[in-house]
Structure 1
């Protein structure tokens, strides 16, 4: 980055021109072969929303000959420990950059006053960050580039019983509960609150940590629900049977990518698999909106295996400078991350652990 200039801003300091340049880089990324950079989690709107909910958010803008060439949103602690923007709730992280842009990771960390920068969903082809050992994980995708019928044809090839079974449950839901109505872009904020209630109950029921017990995540979802630009929006999709909502999903969309973020359903109708019905309706509507794919997000789930047609790769780990804080951070975080990944990747460990979490969730629900 010999001819580059790195400036670091608080979210409110980012100029309109820089935001427009960032959006333009994302819009053009699929054209020059980097569709992973078009993910809405890498958009300026997401970074600015996090900045309104969390402290320490910064945005590095790298200019070449005075022109913005790359953007890195991150969160920084007082000790210089950096985290990818929205670490823990974001499904795509990394440097958003123009084609052919090269950068030096250590120089970038130094300019950002970071000793270490942690990722858990680093997108592919971030070569300067890959100098450090990173662990890659599949992130399943519903590919809609050729349209919904082409997508459905691919799913039928590898999982014909899944499609038949889901369609049969959809018919039974219509017969038993009422005519189905799908709203791809529901604007009623009360429905968002309903979804948050369902998702919180699901977290507790399955023994997972309830993300919506954190006020800042509720605030983030509400902000993004009301964020709408030509290239970005928070999208709430709802499946109704009769006049009753039975499944819903809140995610983010860019021009070409829809992310699967918070899906949930009313457990009263669990036998009809309304969540799966919803996902197929989402795919049909997203294809009609010219979305290239729905990113289901990293994580091993049976429904993702049934819906996916291919996989992306995301990585987790650290990029570091030689600094005592960086070494201490890695020593503290690495064992926990390694243990979790070992359990998740090995069915003989994950299955009993998952059963135990669900048992604890049932006990917690009774209390």
Structure 2
């Protein structure tokens, strides 16, 4: 096996086609989760336009590509998963039956360590370095939306009845509901970002859209469109007014949920839940197999999910001083955060404190509303 490392612009169209083909056919070979759009060449190339140090390792046998491993690297040899911090699925995309040695791969890439926080399940050579495993809920719609809705009614009858009733009341109170599954108006994306930034501040979280590279990445992906990949903006309107929106990524079989938000003036109607049901219905009609809601404990995810995937976080490392230093810095922070998230008696007070801080921060700021184009 030969491993070569490329910059994003050096990847040939033939290699990109092979990468996409591995994803498109993954479900036929018992690895449907490889089809996640965060693992696509389009996502890697978009990150490469917004961040430095993006590289792609291509493993070949008899001159033909058999695996693609995207990563980000520093001059010191610290490697990270592509889009670490915003990517919800990470790993190596490969042909059926391919196996690899993590140490050999790191050496070929010039990495002392490779860090991940959403490693796809089934990546055995990397999983040895996992420090934690977490559920990632999904909504299965491969049998059609009506089948999913029937399952939802059977499992959570009160939740389903209440959510559908709120949708009807929302339409009566504020105008007929209209769902645009693939909204192409850039102004709607700016509105979503405005809502999401305000939500981050209210809840005391770090505002991702305050980071220029994330905002640029979202705009890059919004304009990325092909048969196998697209940035997908879905908007729920009441009359002509947008009240909830979601921006995610779509491959041929997976819709990866990413940035959902809504106008808090309509919170009593649970517009985010209504939007997710409309998204599931539209995605099922397009042949999507499942919506990946992403890692993270949220009540709405527990209500909507049909099952859970698993993702892991951690790092794989060579015996190298850089790897030892990186782990010494990162391990305590991750351990503390996960301990808080896993224990309600710690998480609930911490969450309340963050929200109080968010209210103070929000009350002291005046945020400009998005403008229409």
When normalised by structure 2's length, the TM-score is 0.97
Quick one: which of 50, 61, 64 aligns to 2:61? 64
Q: Distance in 2 between matches of 1:285 and 1:188?
A: 18
Tell me the residue number matched to 2:3. Answer: 6
The total of aligned residue pairs comes to 364
CA–CA distance in 2 between the matches of 1:147 and 1:109?
A: 42
Which position in structure 1 is the counterpart of 2:288? 291
SS, match of residue 114 in structure 2: strand
User: After superposition, where does 1:41-60 map in structure 2 within 5 Å?
Assistant: 41-60=38-57
Which residue of the partner structure matches residue 350 of structure 2? 353
Residues 1:330 and 2:327 are matched in the alignment: yes
Which aligned pairs between 1:121-200 and structure 2 lie closer than 5 A?
A: 121-200=118-197
Which residue of the partner structure matches residue 238 of structure 1? Answer: 235
Bigger mean CA offset, 321-330 vs 345-354: 345-354
Residues 228-268 of structure 1 show CA distances to partners (whole Å, capped at 9, x for unaligned) of 01100000000000110000000000000001100000111
- Quick one: distance in 1 between partners of 2:198 and 2:355? 12
SS state of the match for residue 7, structure 1? strand
Displacement of 1:130 in angstroms is: 2.1
**Alpha-carbon RMSD:** 0.7
Once the two structures are TM-superposed, the CA of residue 53 in structure 1 deviates from its matched residue by 0.1
Q: Displacement of 1:129 after TM fit?
A: 1.2
TM-superposed deviation, 1:105: 0.6
Q: Identify unmatched segments of 5+ residues in structure 2.
A: 365-373
For 2:198 and 2:363, the matched residues in 1 are separated by: 12
Counterpart for residue 84 of structure 2: 87
Change (3 A) 1:253 1:133: closer
Partner SS for 2:60? strand
Per the alignment, residue 204 of structure 2 pairs with: 207
Residues of 2 paired with 1:331 and 1:28: CA distance?
40
Whole-angstrom distance in 2 between the partners of 1:10 and 1:93: 18
Partner Cα separation in structure 2 for residue 339 and residue 132 of structure 1? 18
Cα distance, 1:157 vs structure 2: 2.2
In terms of mean alpha carbon deviation, does 345-354 or 52-61 score higher? Answer: 345-354
- 1:191 is paired with a residue whose SS is helix
Tell me which residue corresponds to 2:112.
Answer: 115
Task: Work out whether 1:247 is the aligned partner of 2:244.
Answer: yes
Q: Does the C-alpha gap of structure 1 residues 307 and 295 become closer, same or farther in structure 2, counting only changes over 3 Å?
A: same
Report the Cα offset of residue 116 of structure 1: 0.2
2:338 to 326, 338, 341: 341
Using the alignment, how far apart are the partners of 1:296 and 1:91 within structure 2? 9
Query: 2:266 maps to which residue?
Result: 269
Matched position secondary structure for 2:294: coil
1:313 aligns with 2:310: yes
TM superposition shift of 1:131:
2.6
SS at match of 1:299: coil
2:50–2:213 contact (8 Å) kept in structure 1: yes
Cα distance, 1:33 vs. partner? 0.4
> Is residue 138–residue 305 contact of structure 2 (8 Å, CA) maintained in 1?
yes
Structure 1's unaligned 5+ residue stretches are: none
Does structure 1 residue 20 correspond to structure 2 residue 17? yes
Runs of 4+ in 1 over 6 A off after TM superposition: none
Query: CA separation in 2, counterparts of 1:325 and 1:279?
Result: 43
SS in 1 for 2:169: helix
For 1:94-133, what per-residue CA distance to the aligned partner results, in whole angstroms no more than 9, with x for missing partners?
A: 0000011011110100000000000000001111112334
Deviates more, 1:157-166 or 1:13-22: 157-166
* CA positional deviation for 1:226: 0.4
